């Protein structure tokens, strides 16, 4: 029968049933044919009268793995064959009181068992000389040989999986663009240690003049990823009582030697190139809003126009309000997409604590952000609710789109909500004769209006939800009342520049203001490409 020394040693927790048990182990003199005949479904059942190991003649259902230790005089002590999903040669040694199990290699990778035994002797020598498992040392060598692509992928996975501030889709989009750029340069498969500082400096200078922002991203992200990798390697090395195998980060060279622009230089460059173009309160703001109000009734643009106008009235980022849902459809508690505490939403009823409000969940800085709805924004949102219901019914949307404040234009949308107003914004920009205007400029316009009417810096930071402010979703009644008053003043300062829009959205008990003739947008451009199927069906036959 099987003796105690034939079995794999078990810890006290394993003997007590508190941990996984090791594979059943037996002894036999191994040779190539013997190993080839072994099958997982035919495990050992004991020893015969002649001392030879016997195997089950009948296949066993759901078999466990088993180990046959090699009793041949040619085999190094602790050498054996493990039979599981595949057959593997292994080596177990006890060095300095520590038991180590190392993989020698897959059975199929060796032509003869003598080759596996020879490799096992080398591994045993390494165990004795270093006191460490050769597999652990091999992993350490692999860590030292990490490629840039591997480090970037590992850090991307970390950004997605981490509990604190997981990366937003916009961040991952930029990160993936940087990774593709490394592939174009032929760097992705290069070992980190092989990319020297001279090469990094040369490549940075080659691309910086044409695309400074993209170039800085292409070098800042790998610097951050490799720093993270190095710190984790230090932790692994300490746990394994060894020296870290990767210590330096060549990409830190650029920051250390001041190759990156300062914030002041970036702002100056944007101003010189006209990349920041907020609507000027006294010149552009009114024309923009009047054009929006006219264009909302043309070419099925109402969702996009409401999307742009509310972005201006709230000063939010483009990624924050696109996925808003109706708060009345959510429960007070619950997970994302179910409860109001963890879902971006608009609440147009009179909440006992907040009144009507808009709530952005987990914004760019990782914090929740709640803002009061001033009277005219509330009226616009109420009209949006009616329009959204009509759009969903007219377009035959299913449940995925019905709950969104800005439902997608297509029933085949992956997200279910409206996302990109770039083309619409370009049309309005051309309509009013502006050279440049993007969606983030609407947020800057909100900030410009606050500055023009003297909004205190603390209130301004809270409305813009800057990262350095205190938590913005926790307010006393007095603080919330102050925010609501200032939001109403900001809203009036914006909409008073467009009298027709102001008069359309103001409460009924407010007096109207003098207004010019409403803006009339030019006719939409004719569609390009092939005609719609509906037009073809409706066209009379020749």
**pLDDT over 80 at 450, yes or no:** yes
Q: Which residue has the higher pLDDT, 193 or 275?
A: 193
Structure confidence by residue, pLDDT tens digits, 114-150:
999 999 999 998 888 878 888 877 766 565 678 999 9
- Assess whether 155 and 79 both reside in one domain: no
- Assess whether 291 and 437 both reside in one domain: yes
Predicted pLDDT of residue 410: 78
Predicted pLDDT of residue 174: 94
Predicted pLDDT of residue 226: 95
- SS3 readout for 245-313: CCCCCCCHHHHHCCCCCCHHHHHHHHHHHCCCCCCCCCCCHHHHHHHHHHHCCCCCCHHHHHHHHHHHH
Nearest to 290 by CA among 475, 48, 522, 518: 518
**pLDDT over 50 at 113, yes or no:** yes
- SS3 state of residue 243: coil
Q: How far apart are the first and last CA of the chain?
A: 95
Predicted pLDDT of residue 19: 43
Q: Which residue has the higher pLDDT, 204 or 392?
A: 204
The answer to the question of residue 10 being in a domain is yes
- Give percent of the chain above pLDDT 70: 86
Instruction: Name every residue whose Cβ is closer than 8 Å to that of residue 284 and which is 6 or more positions away in sequence.
Output: 432, 434
Predicted pLDDT of residue 277: 64
Contact call for residues 87 and 6 (beta carbons, < 8 A)? no
Q: 165 falls in which pLDDT band (50, 70, 90)?
A: confident
The answer to the question of residue 270 being in a domain is no
Predicted pLDDT of residue 263: 80
Select from 72, 100, 131 the last residue of a domain: 131
- Assess whether 320 and 443 both reside in one domain: yes
Q: How far apart are CA 306 and CA 348, in angstroms?
A: 16
Q: 436 falls in which pLDDT band (50, 70, 90)?
A: confident
- Assess whether 363 and 489 both reside in one domain: yes
The answer to the question of residue 204 being in a domain is yes
Mean of the pLDDT values across residues 47-70? 91
Token pair for 377: 């924004």
Mean of the pLDDT values across residues 154-167? 91
Structure confidence by residue, pLDDT tens digits, 80-95:
999 998 999 999 998 8
Give the CATH number, domain containing residue 336.
Answer: 1.10.443.10
Predicted pLDDT of residue 142: 62
- Assess whether 438 and 292 both reside in one domain: yes
DSSP state of 76: P
Q: 418 falls in which pLDDT band (50, 70, 90)?
A: confident
Select from 103, 131, 159 the last residue of a domain: 131
Structure confidence by residue, pLDDT tens digits, 487-528:
999 999 999 999 999 999 999 999 999 999 998 887 766 656
DSSP 421-451: -HHHHHHHHHHHT-S---HHHHHHHHHHHHH
Q: How far apart are CA 154 and CA 141, in angstroms?
A: 17
**pLDDT over 50 at 464, yes or no:** yes
Long-range contacts of 392-399, Cβ-Cβ distance < 8 Å, separation of 24 or more: none
Judged by average pLDDT, the poorest of 156-165, 217-226, 458-467, 494-503 is 458-467
- Assess whether 123 and 57 both reside in one domain: yes
Residue 433's φ and ψ, nearest 5 degrees, are: 80, 30
Predicted pLDDT of residue 531: 58
- SS3 state of residue 70: strand
Token pair for 33: 């044919």
Predicted pLDDT of residue 422: 87
Q: How far apart are CA 306 and CA 384, in angstroms?
A: 7
Mean pLDDT of the chain: 85
Environment class of 284 (CB within 10 Å of its CB; exposed 0-12, middle 13-18, buried 19+): buried
- Assess whether 374 and 323 both reside in one domain: yes
The answer to the question of residue 522 being in a domain is no
- Assess whether 378 and 246 both reside in one domain: no
Q: How far apart are CA 452 and CA 387, in angstroms?
A: 33
**pLDDT over 50 at 10, yes or no:** no
Predicted pLDDT of residue 16: 39
- What strands lie across the sheet with 87-95, from one edge to the other? 25-28, 66-70, 79-83, 87-95, 98-106
Q: Which residue has the higher pLDDT, 493 or 339?
A: 493
- Assess whether 154 and 241 both reside in one domain: yes
Select from 226, 244, 260 the last residue of a domain: 260
Q: How far apart are CA 225 and CA 246, in angstroms?
A: 13
- Assess whether 320 and 432 both reside in one domain: yes
Number of domains in the chain: 3
Q: Rounding to the nearest 10 degrees, give the CA dihedral for residues 53, 58, 61, 62.
A: 20
Q: Which residue has the higher pLDDT, 272 or 484?
A: 484
The answer to the question of residue 205 being in a domain is yes
Predicted pLDDT of residue 246: 79
Range of the domain at 82: 4-131
The answer to the question of residue 302 being in a domain is yes
- Assess whether 296 and 438 both reside in one domain: yes
Predicted pLDDT of residue 20: 44
**pLDDT over 60 at 160, yes or no:** yes
- Assess whether 311 and 431 both reside in one domain: yes
The answer to the question of residue 138 being in a domain is no
Judged by average pLDDT, the poorest of 44-58, 225-239, 398-412, 490-504 is 398-412
The answer to the question of residue 94 being in a domain is yes
Contact call for residues 188 and 222 (beta carbons, < 8 A)? no
Structure confidence by residue, pLDDT tens digits, 211-241:
898 999 999 999 999 999 999 988 988 887 7
Structure confidence by residue, pLDDT tens digits, 271-307:
555 455 678 888 889 999 999 999 988 878 999 999 9
- Give percent of the chain above pLDDT 90: 52
Structure confidence by residue, pLDDT tens digits, 343-389:
999 999 999 999 999 999 988 877 889 999 999 999 999 999 999 88
Q: How many residues does the chain have?
A: 542
């Amino acid at each position: 029968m099987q003796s105690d020394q034939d079995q794999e040693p078990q810890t006290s927790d394993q003997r007590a049933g508190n941990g996984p048990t090791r594979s059943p182990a037996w002894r036999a003199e191994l040779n190539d044919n013997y190993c080839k005949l072994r099958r997982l479904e035919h495990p050992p059942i004991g020893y015969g009268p002649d001392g030879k190991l016997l195997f089950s003649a009948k296949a066993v259902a759901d078999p466990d793995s088993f180990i046959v230790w090699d009793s041949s005089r040619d085999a190094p002590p602790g050498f054996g064959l493990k039979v599981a999903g595949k057959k593997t040669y292994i080596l177990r040694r006890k060095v300095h009181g520590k038991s180590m199990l190392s993989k020698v290699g897959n059975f199929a990778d060796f032509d003869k068992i003598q080759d596996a035994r020879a490799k096992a002797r080398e591994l045993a020598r390494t165990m004795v000389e270093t006191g460490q498992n050769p597999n652990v040392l091999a992993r350490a060598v692999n860590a030292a040989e990490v490629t840039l692509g591997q480090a970037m992928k590992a850090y991307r996975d970390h950004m997605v999986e981490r509990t604190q501030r997981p990366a937003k889709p916009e961040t991952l989009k930029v990160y993936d663009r940087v990774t593709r750029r490394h592939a174009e340069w032929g760097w992705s498969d290069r070992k980190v240690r092989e990319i020297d500082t001279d090469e990094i400096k040369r490549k940075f200078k080659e691309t910086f003049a044409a695309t400074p922002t993209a170039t800085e991203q292409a070098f800042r992200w790998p610097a951050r990823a490799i720093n993270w990798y190095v710190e984790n390697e230090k932790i692994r090395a300490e746990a394994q009582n060894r020296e870290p195998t990767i210590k330096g980060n060549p990409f830190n060279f650029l920051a250390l030697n001041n190759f990156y622009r300062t914030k002041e230089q970036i702002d100056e460059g944007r101003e010189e190139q006209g990349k920041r173009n907020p609507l000027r309160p006294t010149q552009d703001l009114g024309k923009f809003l009047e054009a929006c109000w006219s264009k909302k009734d043309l070419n099925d643009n109402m969702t996009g126009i409401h999307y742009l106008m509310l972005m201006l009235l709230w000063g939010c980022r483009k990624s924050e309000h696109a996925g808003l849902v109706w708060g009345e459809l959510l429960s007070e508690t619950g997970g994302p997409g179910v409860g109001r505490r963890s879902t971006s939403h608009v609440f147009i009823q009179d909440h006992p604590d907040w009144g009507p409000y808009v709530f952005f969940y987990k914004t760019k800085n990782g914090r929740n952000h709640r803002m009061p709805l001033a009277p005219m924004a509330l009226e616009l949102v109420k009209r949006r609710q009616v329009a959204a219901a009509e759009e969903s019914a007219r377009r035959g949307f299913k449940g995925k789109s019905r709950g969104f404040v800005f439902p997608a234009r297509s029933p085949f949308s992956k997200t279910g909500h409206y996302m990109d107003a770039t083309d619409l914004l370009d049309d309005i920009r051309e309509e009013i004769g502006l050279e440049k205007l993007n969606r983030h400029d609407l947020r800057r316009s909100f900030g410009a209006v606050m500055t023009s009417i003297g909004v205190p810096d603390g209130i301004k930071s809270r409305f813009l939800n800057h990262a350095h402010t205190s938590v913005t979703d926790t307010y006393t009644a007095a603080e919330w009342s102050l925010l609501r008053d200032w939001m109403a003043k900001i809203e009036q300062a914006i909409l008073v520049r467009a009298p027709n829009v102001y008069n359309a959205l103001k409460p009924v008990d407010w007096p109207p203001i003098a207004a010019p003739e409403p803006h009339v947008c030019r006719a939409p451009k004719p569609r390009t490409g092939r005609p719609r199927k509906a037009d073809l069906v409706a066209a009379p036959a020749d």
